[in-house]
Every structure is written in structure tokens, then in C-alpha cells.
Chains A and B, each alone.
Chain A
């Protein structure tokens, strides 16, 4: 009896251990190559639908509450972060393979982080209070030094997303909950970079005009990015599951639902290949990054993303 139990235990242990480390790495590598091939072939289909996900990567345990992501300089990876600390995970978006992890600060910095963007080699991570953490990539398993820029805009707004507008060289900070006087508007702050920057400005668009015919009661952006093809600003909201595209002048180009049922969309990025990456926080389902086709001038759009284009709206810009 005893001997039988021990043999059974041994069998389970050996079975659980499975393949060796090297064999497993080789198997992973082969799977990754297969995924890349499959995704590349799908990208090249000019008439592919934009509302059907091409891939969906389930996040690792240390990134269960993914809050923001941005493409790295090589365009092949995204750098993602959680919403409670400065722990960053780099993954190859084509294959869904984690390639690097690093933290901010000697002791991992804690905060309510909501979004991340990149300007050249510099990354800017935004907290909900309007503090911007500037840093550069660190090696795998290392820690990166950072610089904190306090925009002092936390009193006016609770922020949820950040992007870089290369044309104006300004950081765009999407406001989730503006102060009372701006509650009925979609608000985006511009934080200029560089030497002798111009003053901070903001884009405010009346919510009624943005919502249009959609049945949303409110709009609280959870992230913002810049369309690399048109220069438009693309915003998503978690609660309304909305995707809004506005021009640099503040004209609403389109407003509609996100391509598919994505719970609590918290991050957005658009690749040079014309793919839309949407990250979702844990919520009811595990955190994930879902990849869609993004309608750009070179693609024949089969189904428009973000609803139909709305009428041109004149925004107010202070």
C-alpha cells in the first residue's frame, strides 16, 4: 500500500516536471515562430475585417492589472505596466512572448499609474494625480532611475492616459474626471516638451457632441494614443467601451464601440503595421492584450472601427 502510494507520487512528480528547460525553451520558440507567421499573414490580408481579433495574449501573473502600454523604439515590442507600482513588462506583441522585466527605482516606486508613452528613448508614465515619471529602459531584472515631473494639474483633473503628439512635441494627457466646471466636456491637456516650451493648453469638446447618437451617459477616457497614419488622437473608455477618434484640431472624426467585447479596456497602441492593440485590466476576466486590424489609408476598410464618422465639431481651445 505504502509502496504503491510512493510510486504514484513519483509518477506524478515526474509527469509534472515534464520537459526539460532547454526542450521547453525550444518548444516555446517554435510556437512563437508559428504565431508570428500566422499573424503576419493575417496583417497582409488587405480586406481583412477590423472588428475581428487577430490575436489575444493573456498576461502573466505579475501584470494582472495592466493599466497602460506603449510601443518600444523598435516597434516590435510593447512595454506594459500595472496600476499600483512601477513594475514594467516588455513583450513581443507578434508572438505574445515576455522578453524583459524591470522596475522603477531602487525600491519599486508605488503609485496609481494610468498610462505610458514614449518620446525617442525616454518613457513617460503618468499617475492619476498628474505626476509624470520619466525614465529609460533598464536591462532585464534591473532597476531604472526615474525623474518625477509634477504638472500640478492633479487639482483640475484625474488623469487616465498619456500619449505623445510628435507634431507639437507635447504630451497629451486624457482627463477621466475633470473638475466641476468641465464635467460636461471631454478634456485633453497638452504638456509641451523641449526647451522653452509654450504654455500648457487643453482641448475641451462638449460631451454631447462627442457622444452623438450613442447611448452613453458619460465618457471617461481610460487611454489615449496618436494614430501614426493620420495624426488623429484615439481615445478609449473602459466603462462605456467606447472608442473616439478626434483630429488634432479637436474635431470628432468618429465615436463608437470598441471592436469587440473587451472588459475594462485600459491601454491602447497602434503599430506601424496598421494594428490596434488594446489592453484590458483584470476585471472579471484575466488581463490581456487583444490585436485588431486598424483602418488606415492603405487598407480597404471592411468594417470601420469606432463607429461612423461624426460631423465636424469646433472644439474650444483656451
Chain B
């Protein structure tokens, strides 16, 4: 998939927007089919099943003047290699047409309704259906046999989401189309289905007007992340600390995008001060007096009490530009050093840590 992936990147100018990549995929697939069709003259015939069938065994036509059919019509099959090439083309075509459907499924589902089993079924089911249709073709006997086998096997699955059922139906339809060598119809189904699904998802078609739209649900939390002047909570600090540098960068980039979207504002605080102490009340009083004198603004974020262990006071602070982090730590140690065995400052965008004690 490497070169194919690069080609899609090239067509989308490196964009990672799903819709653009989907369109690029279909365009690329169309170009490949066109190119193959130009080189391989029989390609169109194989694709649509319109290749000429040889009369290996002369076919006796039904006598229209007699009541009953006089003889059975032999089932004509193309030569084995031709059949192999056609069937392979059908199956590969099925996978290529269902891949974008599975991508759309994954993109338009939230984490709760996402079902990996359905995703894999979307790829596998049409292959099986196409295979069955190719085998059964015009044979009534085989069709009855298939019904018998299916009745004997009995498989039933309940899907949680009605939309999953629609995806399954599409997979069956594509499989059928491929089985009867009507891949152009399967391609049209795949494209049209994806377009409709994306539009209904993008515009939240059919939502309850009394409930907030999915897009508006995120406005408030995103605003709180971007608008640091508001009196809102900051993201979970422990969660931020648990991030790897790579994931922190990704998260930061996302936050930057949100800020770009909702307006650029300076961050309200630029450091987190963590104090470990056994005398919580006294430490809090002295610390807040110190912070009033030394920092631009501060806020008590959390007091963590642990049984049998020292408690922890956590302050969000904005250190003045005229003061370095070292000077601030020195001032803290000088004022309340006797009460606080541990002082820790997490400051700056990279959350540099300086510990004492």
C-alpha cells in the first residue's frame, strides 16, 4: 500500500482530511481501471461479463411448439483460465470497492458505536457473496442447495445499530453485483453510498431539534480550553503529565488548532506549584501571602490529603516576566521552606520540573 498511499498523498496535496482522501482514492481507482482497459482489450468484457461464450457443446434450443421443454440447456462455462481471471478480478474489485466503505464506517462512528467486527465483515462478506453468486449463477438446483445449507447452518447476529445493518446490506449488494459481473454497478453503489453517508453524517441529518447537535456539544469544552480568561477548569493535570512527549505534542497541536479556531488568547497560568507539607493550614496561609507578593496571579487548584502521608497543595500561578523560575523557587524556599519539605515547580510549555527537598 506504500506507493498507493503516496499517490493518494500526492493527489490530496498531503491533506489528511478524510473526504479529500476518499475522493482521491476513487479517482485513482478510476484512473487505474481506465489505464488497464486501454492496455487490455478484453478487460471491459471481463469486467461486465460480456465476453463471448464459445459453443463448446452445441446448444439445442427449446421447441416452442411443444408444451414442455424438450431438453435441458447445458450450462456453458468459459475456459478455466478465463474463468480464473474473471473471478479473481471480481474478488479483487470487491475488496477495492469495499475498502472506502469501511473507512467511511470507521470515520463516521463514535467510539461507543464502532464495531470492529462490522468493519471486517464489510470487507469479507462481499467476497463470500460474490463467490456464492458465481458458483450458483443460473443453476436452480444449486440455488436450492444453497438455501438448504444456509437453513442447516443457522447463523444469526443482532446488530446494535440499524446503520450497521445498512452497511451489511451494501456489502451484500456489492457482492451480488460482483458475482454477476456487474462491477460498474458495484462501483456506483460504493461511491453513491459513501457520498450519502458522509453528507448525512457531516450535517447531522435527522437530529432531534430539542437536543444539542454533536457539533455544538463540543463548543463549550473547546472554548474553555482556548479561552483562558474565563473562569473555567484546566485539563486534568495528571493526565497531561502521563502523556509521552509525542502524544503531548499531538495534543498541543490539537489545542493550537482549537485556539486558531476560537481565537488566540494568552494562557492564564504558566506554572504549577506543588508543595508537600504536614501543616496544611499554615502552609496555605503563608504560601498565599507569598504568592500575592511575587506572582501576577495565582489560584489554588487542589489540596490532596493522603492518610499517613504528607498532604499536597497545588497552585496554578502566572510568574511575572521580571522574575525567573529560579528566583521564584528561591523566594518560596526562603519564605516557607521550614514548613514545606518538598517544593516542585512545573513551568513553561514543556512543563520543566524543578524539585527541591
Partner of B52, one of A58, A142, A288: A142
In the complex, A160→B64 CA distance in Å? Answer: 26
Which residues of B have CB within 8 Å of A286? 64
Which residues of A have CB within 8 Å of B53? 62, 101, 141
Listed stretches B66-74, B208-216, B234-242; interface member: B66-74
- A100 and B62 contact, CB distance less than 8 A: no
Partner of B71, one of A31, A60, A99: A31
In the complex, A25→B71 CA distance in Å? Answer: 10
- A25 and B62 contact, CB distance less than 8 A: no
- B55 and A56 contact, CB distance less than 8 A: no
What's the minimum C-beta distance from B55 to chain A, rounded to whole angstroms? 5
Listed stretches B93-101, B138-146, B267-275; interface member: B138-146
In the complex, A19→B74 CA distance in Å? Answer: 10
Listed stretches A1-9, A190-198, A217-225, A296-304; interface member: A1-9
In the complex, A95→B58 CA distance in Å? Answer: 11
Q: What secondary structure prevails in chain A residues at the interface with B? A: mixed
Q: Confirm or deny: A103 has a beta carbon within 8 angstroms of a beta carbon on chain B.
A: yes
Q: How many residues in B have their beta carbons less than 8 Å from beta carbons of A?
A: 32
In the complex, A143→B73 CA distance in Å? Answer: 24
Q: Confirm or deny: A120 has a beta carbon within 8 angstroms of a beta carbon on chain B.
A: no
Which residues of B have CB within 8 Å of A109? none
**Number of A-B residue pairs at CB separation under 8 A:** 115
In the complex, A105→B156 CA distance in Å? Answer: 49
Q: Confirm or deny: A209 has a beta carbon within 8 angstroms of a beta carbon on chain B.
A: no
- B41 and A31 contact, CB distance less than 8 A: no
Q: Confirm or deny: A272 has a beta carbon within 8 angstroms of a beta carbon on chain B.
A: no
Q: Tell me the A32-75 residues at the B interface (CB within 8 Å).
A: 32, 35, 53, 55-60, 62
Which residues of B have CB within 8 Å of A60? 59, 61, 73
Q: Tell me the A209-264 residues at the B interface (CB within 8 Å).
A: none
Partner of A57, one of B44, B64, B148: B64
Q: Confirm or deny: A121 has a beta carbon within 8 angstroms of a beta carbon on chain B.
A: no
Chain A positions 19 through 33: 1 when the CB is less than 8 Å from some CB of chain B, otherwise 0: 101001101110110
What's the minimum C-beta distance from A227 to chain B, rounded to whole angstroms? 25
A-B contact list, 19 entries, CB within 8 Å: A2-B152, A6-B148, A9-B149, A13-B142, A16-B141, A19-B72, A21-B57, A24-B72, A32-B58, A57-B62, A58-B63, A96-B61, A96-B62, A97-B60, A98-B60, A98-B61, A101-B53, A142-B52, A288-B64
In the complex, A108→B142 CA distance in Å? Answer: 31
From B43, which residue of chain A is reached at the shortest CB distance?
A: A107
Q: Confirm or deny: A167 has a beta carbon within 8 angstroms of a beta carbon on chain B.
A: no
What's the minimum C-beta distance from B144 to chain A, rounded to whole angstroms? 5
Which residues of B have CB within 8 Å of A13? 141-142, 145
Which residues of A have CB within 8 Å of B141? 12-13, 15-17
Q: Confirm or deny: B217 has a beta carbon within 8 angstroms of a beta carbon on chain A.
A: no
Partner of A16, one of B44, B52, B70, B140: B140
What's the minimum C-beta distance from A58 to chain B, rounded to whole angstroms? 4
In the complex with contacts A13-B141, A16-B140, A53-B65, A98-B41 CB distance below 8 A: no
What's the minimum C-beta distance from A87 to chain B, rounded to whole angstroms? 7
In the complex, A103→B41 CA distance in Å? Answer: 14
Which residues of A have CB within 8 Å of B44? 107
From A10, which residue of chain B is reached at the shortest CB distance?
A: B145
Q: What secondary structure prevails in chain B residues at the interface with A? A: loop
List 9 other contacts, CB 8 Å, given A31-B70, A57-B64, A96-B61: A9-B149, A24-B74, A31-B71, A35-B63, A56-B63, A98-B60, A108-B45, A140-B54, A141-B54
Which residues of A have CB within 8 Å of B149? 5-6, 9
In the complex, A5→B146 CA distance in Å? Answer: 11
From B59, which residue of chain A is reached at the shortest CB distance?
A: A98
From A92, which residue of chain B is reached at the shortest CB distance?
A: B58
In the complex with contacts A102-B52, A108-B50, A58-B62 CB distance below 8 A: yes
- B57 and A24 contact, CB distance less than 8 A: yes
In the complex, A142→B63 CA distance in Å? Answer: 28
In the complex, A56→B74 CA distance in Å? Answer: 20
- B63 and A27 contact, CB distance less than 8 A: no
Q: Confirm or deny: B151 has a beta carbon within 8 angstroms of a beta carbon on chain A.
A: yes
What's the minimum C-beta distance from B338 to chain A, rounded to whole angstroms? 83
Which residues of A have CB within 8 Å of B70? 31
In the complex, A125→B52 CA distance in Å? Answer: 19
- A106 and B41 contact, CB distance less than 8 A: yes
What's the minimum C-beta distance from A107 to chain B, rounded to whole angstroms? 6
Which residues of A have CB within 8 Å of B72? 18-19, 24
- B61 and A290 contact, CB distance less than 8 A: no
- B61 and A107 contact, CB distance less than 8 A: no
In the complex with contacts A16-B139, A101-B55, A103-B52, A31-B60 CB distance below 8 A: yes
